[in-house]
Chain A
């Protein structure tokens, strides 16, 4: 008989993991939907967010400041990268993929050089262990709701949604779509960096986390449906729970399961479980 406490722990872990996945995958998905870019640099934003949080936590010993700074720098880096480089290769998908892969590589190395090879982690006295994981779940749901409202109830959100359907048409209506691209990219980077910062007290920050989280979030987005915000939420829940459960009950499978699920979903329902399909 399986211990019910173990199941509860696995579910809590899975939910917390889902929320982190959601923070990175939602931005990735929105960026793909709007701009058609498979942004492999997104994992790098997650990692940079984590390391910036580590630095600011060491400086100020205040977790909220660390979170806000990570989000701010994530936004800044995202906007700079989009404005200065990604815009130049607009309409060349292979170059876009290569460019963002290049950033993933570059940031992983930068992190290695600046912060060293050893993983960094800090703990909060008032929130530790499963309490922090519960906090993560609430934080994730709050941000998901907040982003959903932003996307459906504000003018900017409506423009982004319209751009996902047809960016050229939106431009024809007199909206500066390039600025929308830059801001959306920055917002995606902000979410990812925030997620990275939130992950530190639980999982720590390592130079490899960029690529590992990148590929997991890729799987999430594909399962949920590329370009769909709702899809990324449900996709994160599915993959996060699968990850949590498999880590507790079938530890050998954790590595294969992601890609197995992705391949099956792609071959059976190409547009993902919640994708619109074209």
Chain B
């Protein structure tokens, strides 16, 4: 009897822990269920690409958004991570080991970028890191034996991506996660203390979840059961596995990053961003914290690079190390909102989606860069603090409006 009570208590605690960050959890759960809804290899690969850029954007947010390190050299850890994995995969290292090596190299780059903060700050730091990244780019570009020069180097797809059992396992896990969250949402919906806004969000989540399951699960199940033996399914299966390979590190990194920024260390990062002199006066060793932030951020970036290589299969200095990457990272961060972690991820997703969809339209594709330029300018002029922060500032009024509406409905019901 007592034991049962304990069990129910544990379950209750588990639910309560889950329900603290409800909306976020719901969106992560949706990401886990998403591949079920897309039986097309193209969209799966697009989603995977979005996840990689999201991880890169999030890593940059730790440096710029939280610690205030205006680094223009963030393409360097990304590119070096990508190249490390490519080179070690070509030497027939197993993929997980190659990722670990890439992380090590990322930490090394982060160390160098962090050491620059000892000497210079502010706009000068931005310029030193820019020079550093451009030098790495130039070295890779000229060192053809290492990097393959302008044509780049290609890797074959790692063996385990073709391993169907892995995909089945991941599907099982993701569906389990989704079901747990689904039940949590149902549980929350019954809770009377919930705000209307959250309830609407839960309903949406449940509806989308059910729609995905009912609409496309049978189709997907068919593909899964046939397996990759069928030639037409192979690409879908590979991309599906790849999607999970990108999603799981992203989820883990997000929670690590969230823990870091919510920890005392994260608070000191923010203190450095807000007022470095004062933080120093309070007795904190500012340079060590900046170094730490730089290393963590670079490691996440190199992980993004490491995941990018088996996805793109062919990388060149232009595609992973050039300043175009840096401009994209800045745009993701600006569009999403700095210092929010979620914001840059959102920005990366939106822009990657737009870029892919617009370039595929005939007649628009060639003007894509022009559109992007105009888009840049509009975003900066009208959302200088990003979507998430703008939403947080203006969201107050939305909340109030919804409450007002709810009250109105309630009173009118009573009136009847």
Question: Does the CB pair B124–A102 fall under 8 Å?
Answer: no
Residues from chain A with a CB closer than 8 A to the CB of B334 are 94-95, 98
A170-225: which residues lie under 8 A (CB-CB) from chain B? 215, 218-219, 222
Question: Does the CB pair A256–B374 fall under 8 Å?
Answer: no
Complex CA–CA separation, A267 to B367 (angstroms):
41
Complex CA–CA separation, A148 to B330 (angstroms):
36
Q: Does B331 contact A (CB under 8 A)?
A: yes
Residue of A nearest to B326 (CB): A101
Residues from chain A with a CB closer than 8 A to the CB of B130 are 218, 259
- Among A93, A106, A113, A263, point to the contact of B377 (Cβ < 8 A): A106
Question: Does the CB pair B142–A252 fall under 8 Å?
Answer: yes
B74-125: which residues lie under 8 A (CB-CB) from chain A? 116, 119-120, 123-124
Question: Does the CB pair B369–A89 fall under 8 Å?
Answer: no
Size of the B side of the interface (Cβ < 8 Å), in residues, is 35
Question: Does the CB pair A260–B127 fall under 8 Å?
Answer: no
Residues from chain A with a CB closer than 8 A to the CB of B134 are 215, 259
Question: Does the CB pair A85–B377 fall under 8 Å?
Answer: yes
Complex CA–CA separation, A259 to B135 (angstroms):
6
Give chain B nearest CB distance to A268 CB in angstroms: 9
B194-239: which residues lie under 8 A (CB-CB) from chain A? none
Complex CA–CA separation, A89 to B116 (angstroms):
28
Q: Does A266 contact B (CB under 8 A)?
A: yes
Give chain B nearest CB distance to A232 CB in angstroms: 15
- Among B127, B132, B139, B370, point to the contact of A106 (Cβ < 8 A): B370
Give chain B nearest CB distance to A77 CB in angstroms: 14
Q: Does A99 contact B (CB under 8 A)?
A: yes
Complex CA–CA separation, A95 to B210 (angstroms):
41
Residues from chain B with a CB closer than 8 A to the CB of A95 are 334, 380, 384
Question: Does the CB pair A255–B142 fall under 8 Å?
Answer: yes
Q: Mark B345-368, 1 if CB is under 8 A from A, else 0.
A: 000000000000000000000010
Question: Does the CB pair B131–A266 fall under 8 Å?
Answer: yes
Question: Does the CB pair A102–B370 fall under 8 Å?
Answer: no
Complex CA–CA separation, A38 to B331 (angstroms):
17
- Among B64, B128, B327, B384, point to the contact of A263 (Cβ < 8 A): B128
Complex CA–CA separation, A256 to B330 (angstroms):
24
Residue of B nearest to A254 (CB): B138
Question: Does the CB pair A106–B138 fall under 8 Å?
Answer: no
Residues from chain B with a CB closer than 8 A to the CB of A255 are 138, 141-142
A44-100: which residues lie under 8 A (CB-CB) from chain B? 85, 88-89, 92-95, 97-99
Give chain A nearest CB distance to B380 CB in angstroms: 5
Known A99-B377, A226-B123, A263-B128: A105·B327 in contact at CB below 8 Å: yes
Known A98-B330, A226-B123: A105·B131 in contact at CB below 8 Å: no
- Among A85, A98, A263, A267, point to the contact of B135 (Cβ < 8 A): A263
Give chain B nearest CB distance to A233 CB in angstroms: 20
Residue of B nearest to A267 (CB): B119
Q: Does A17 contact B (CB under 8 A)?
A: no
Residue of A nearest to B383 (CB): A95
Complex CA–CA separation, A226 to B125 (angstroms):
13
Question: Does the CB pair B376–A98 fall under 8 Å?
Answer: yes
Query: Main secondary structure on chain B at its contact with chain A?
Result: helix
Residue of B nearest to A102 (CB): B376
Q: Does A270 contact B (CB under 8 A)?
A: yes
Residues from chain A with a CB closer than 8 A to the CB of B131 are 219, 259-260, 262-263, 266
Complex CA–CA separation, A109 to B119 (angstroms):
37
Residues from chain A with a CB closer than 8 A to the CB of B128 are 262-263, 266-267
Complex CA–CA separation, A110 to B370 (angstroms):
7
Q: Does B57 contact A (CB under 8 A)?
A: no
Question: Does the CB pair A101–B119 fall under 8 Å?
Answer: no
Residues from chain B with a CB closer than 8 A to the CB of A262 are 127-128, 131
Q: Does B70 contact A (CB under 8 A)?
A: yes
Question: Does the CB pair B377–A270 fall under 8 Å?
Answer: no
Residues from chain A with a CB closer than 8 A to the CB of B120 are 266-267, 270
B35-72: which residues lie under 8 A (CB-CB) from chain A? 64, 70
- Among B135, B376, B380, point to the contact of A105 (Cβ < 8 A): B376
Question: Does the CB pair B374–A106 fall under 8 Å?
Answer: yes
Residues from chain A with a CB closer than 8 A to the CB of B376 are 98-99, 101-102, 105-106
Question: Does the CB pair A94–B70 fall under 8 Å?
Answer: yes
- Among B70, B124, B330, B338, point to the contact of A270 (Cβ < 8 A): B124
Q: Does A103 contact B (CB under 8 A)?
A: yes
Give chain A nearest CB distance to B251 CB in angstroms: 28
Question: Does the CB pair A89–B127 fall under 8 Å?
Answer: no
Question: Does the CB pair B142–A270 fall under 8 Å?
Answer: no
Q: Does B372 contact A (CB under 8 A)?
A: yes
Residues from chain B with a CB closer than 8 A to the CB of A102 are 373, 376-377, 380
Q: Does B381 contact A (CB under 8 A)?
A: yes
Known A99-B377, A101-B330: A266·B124 in contact at CB below 8 Å: yes
Known A94-B70, A94-B334, A267-B119: A105·B372 in contact at CB below 8 Å: yes
Complex CA–CA separation, A109 to B380 (angstroms):
19
Residues from chain B with a CB closer than 8 A to the CB of A98 are 330-331, 334, 376, 380
Q: Other than the known A97-B330, A113-B370, what 9 A-B pairs have Cβ atoms closer than 8 Å? A: A93-B70, A94-B64, A94-B330, A98-B330, A98-B334, A256-B139, A259-B134, A259-B138, A260-B135
Complex A-B, nearest 7 residue pairs according to Cβ-Cβ distance, in ascending order:
A106-B373, A102-B376, A109-B370, A259-B131, A105-B373, A263-B131, A95-B384
Query: What are 30 A-to-B residue pairs whose CB atoms are below 8 Å?
Result: A38-B123, A89-B381, A94-B70, A94-B334, A95-B384, A98-B331, A98-B334, A98-B376, A99-B376, A99-B377, A99-B380, A103-B373, A105-B327, A105-B376, A106-B374, A109-B370, A113-B367, A215-B134, A226-B123, A226-B124, A252-B142, A255-B142, A256-B138, A256-B139, A256-B142, A259-B132, A262-B127, A266-B127, A267-B116, A270-B120
Seen from chain B, the residues whose Cβ lies within 8 Å of a Cβ on chain A are: 64, 70, 116, 119-120, 123-124, 126-128, 130-132, 134-135, 138-139, 141-142, 327, 330-331, 334, 338, 367, 369-370, 372-374, 376-377, 380-381, 384
